[in-house]
Amino acid sequence: MKKYINLIAITLITMLTQGCGDPSMTDIADKIVKVETPKGKYTTVNKSSGAYGRYQIMPKTAKHYTKKLKMNHSKWKHPENQDKIFLALLSDNVESLKRNGIDVNAFSVYGCHQQGATGFKCIVNNEVMSAYSYTKLRRNLPKKYKYISNEKLRKTWINYWKNKMS
């Protein structure tokens, strides 16, 4: 476990020195792990979404990144491969935020992780969202927000996650 944390730290430091982030990226990555898997286990399964592992990576995302990283897809659930996929995803999300003029911080990086980079951009820029996008927002809020109107949902999601990630 320690060697994987060290691998993440080394990779994040490399990203920082190459201009792929800012000095708080390690803290942001730690916050994402605490939200996704409070115990940090590489074997955590979300039965409702299908997300897997320490970073709750969706199978479709894993497929994309195993191809991108030239990794054997059947081994994506191995801890070292989850780390590699997460770091590539994190880097891509930070790049997307910068390209779209969105501040890079714990909220925005996690928002991209949770909703996808394009979905997050639509949320914060108040762009048109699909019914599925609203479903994803609702699914990622506590049950007390289950019946909130779509008109209030976007702002509620933003406020909830900004507070949670601060």
Backbone dihedral region of 19: left (phi > 0), alpha (psi from -120 to 50 degrees) or beta?
left
Rounded to two decimals, what is the model's pTM?
A: 0.82
Asked if 90 and 29 touch (Cβ cutoff 8 Å), the reply is yes
Q: Which residue range(s) make up the domain with 135? A: 2-165
* Count of structural domains within the chain: 1
pLDDT tens digit sequence for 75-116: 999 999 999 999 999 999 999 999 999 999 999 999 999 999
Q: What is the pLDDT of residues 56-82, one digit of tens each?
A: 999 999 999 999 999 999 999 999 999
Query: How far is C-alpha 22 from the chain's CA centre?
Result: 17
